[in-house]
Structure 1
């Protein structure tokens, strides 16, 4: 795999596709298991473009989102959800990038996570939502010990998951 150090050109979606092409050309991605293989990550980038999920971000923030979601996608929705959790904590492990609009960055990552979960939601949404509720409640128990308002955001997510579970009953 040959990678040049030239800057990516084009709009935010073209830059996403170029970065995804580099990742997809890795031999481990070519032979990987769907949907987290070369074809899957290319389809992922195409879906982000079709849904225009990067619209509204500055180019700087779009570059950040492009990098994070492409790398996190390869590890699955759990990693993407962790990224949102991490970015909302008082001491995130995600490197600080002085975003133009940090809330817009997190919101966009959540929207992309929503797309991924919706695309590969198992046929049993009841079980999936109950598992998600348990995981979210567990994360809230940990997060409420942190300072800041990340716990409030997670509490709102818990309420939304519980509402979805009730709607299925």
Structure 2
């Protein structure tokens, strides 16, 4: 029943749309011949709104930076400096991770191609074995110290 009602209403809407004239038909026929089919005043208003939005966000970011600086001063933290060459252009409104620089990509490629780490493995294994063998004696010494200092009352 619902299907039939939907079909009837849908057909009526299509006929009303056709009577009013579709926007697609106007643009295909050429419309008024304006660039983009929009009124220049609307385009100007949209640009002004975008500028206002950017200015609002810039002011908010300045306020946030002031807060961050006061927190840094309060707790004695240093501001992380980003070198100018690594700073991506237009990153102030970017969502997600930053793009890697050419130097980072090259270093990553070199790290992937190096097989020298496997050559170091046996020497690291012997050092690791020596450290592991020292653990029981150190553990026994520390337990002995703790038990000698602690008394049950």
TM-score normalised by the chain length of structure 1? 0.23
Which of structures 1 and 2 has the bigger CA Rg? 2
TM-score normalised by the chain length of structure 2? 0.25
